[in-house]
Structure 1
């Protein structure tokens, strides 16, 4: 089939993936299955703890963001994931569907995840705040204070190998730093002994395509940390 007969979205995903492996010096990748199945007991325990935590947030009125929400957006993915992504908060599409990163920025994130050999079923994705801020504004300090304990509890339950912080809000909340993403990206930091990689939020990359090359470097770092021995 000629390239003209292929969905452009598929072409873009393949180009991202090929670029990643070529940058890593790998030109032949053997076919492999997905990450090995997690021990049933560990998976069930984490899944139940996350479900119980989500139940605590049902009908939440802890801050003003509840006033405009359609759906609370708790999180989505593998409860036993080695890689967790933390964003800022839900947007319009997320508020409507009740799942994180399903809009345009989410589609870009999905492509980036696939480019390092994973899919969304193998990672976990959540946000600092679980309800959409009005007009997609940055969450305010009291809103973060009310909601972030649930995000921290998600991280504690999953206990991943690597955490990727998407954007300044996630980075400042988790790392307690007031520096810009540009100042702290490009290296692995630590949160409670877990490797943390801050990078640009996918929504920022859509507005500033030139930053994609730097985000790509951060995702290569994610890959190397995931593959490193424990």
Structure 2
């Protein structure tokens, strides 16, 4: 019998366009130290996008409660300075452009690790969950980004 966690993980992978061939046991995500930070544009209530974001986190063994989220419209620079994350993830074009001080297309920013600030904090760019609602074909690319996030974060 597949437990609820495995079922959710399989549903996420299926939604991302990834065929699940092997059932595996996945341990419960445990909260890491507060050193993974996601930066997004202003918060907008969107239940479907929130579910996608939760599924994205779940796919890399995190829960929303175990990460930090800051918004461009808030005092995100002060939040970065006080939290001192070991990895920053820019969710979407607006966050990526603000953090990297560029206007480069997000498709050209993905799949890379940048350095943020004097501390040279690793920074990864991925699609905003709301964008994935409108462009489900990009979910496979988002999955690649998630794998990069997990790889870089575990090296920390």
Long gaps (5+) in structure 2? none
Alignment of 1:120 onto 2:64: yes
Which of 120, 126, 133 is the matching residue for 1:206?
133
User: How far apart are the structure 2 equivalents of 1:207 and 1:153?
Assistant: 32
State which structure, 1 or 2, has the greater radius of gyration over its C-alpha atoms: 1
User: How far apart are the structure 2 equivalents of 1:14 and 1:129?
Assistant: 34
Which of 116, 136, 150 is the matching residue for 1:223?
150
Alignment of 1:168 onto 2:121: no
How far is the alpha carbon of 1:81 from its aligned partner? Answer: 1.5
Matches within 5 A, 1:59-138: 81-91=34-44, 93=45, 103-130=47-74
Whether the 8 Å contact between 1:17 and 1:116 is mirrored in structure 2 is no
Structure 1 stretches (4+) deviating beyond 4 angstroms? Answer: 17-20, 26-30
After superposition, the C-alpha distances for 1:63-82 in whole angstroms (9 at most, x for unaligned) are xxxxxxxxxxxxxxxxx512
Whether the 8 Å contact between 2:39 and 2:89 is mirrored in structure 1 is yes
How far is the alpha carbon of 1:13 from its aligned partner? Answer: 3.7
Which of 10, 16, 24 is the matching residue for 2:12?
16
Return the structure number with greater relative CO, CA threshold 8 A, min gap 6: 2
User: How far apart are the structure 1 equivalents of 2:151 and 2:115?
Assistant: 15
User: How far apart are the structure 1 equivalents of 2:36 and 2:100?
Assistant: 17
Q: CA-atom RMSD, angstroms?
A: 3.3
Q: Secondary structure at the match of 2:52?
A: helix
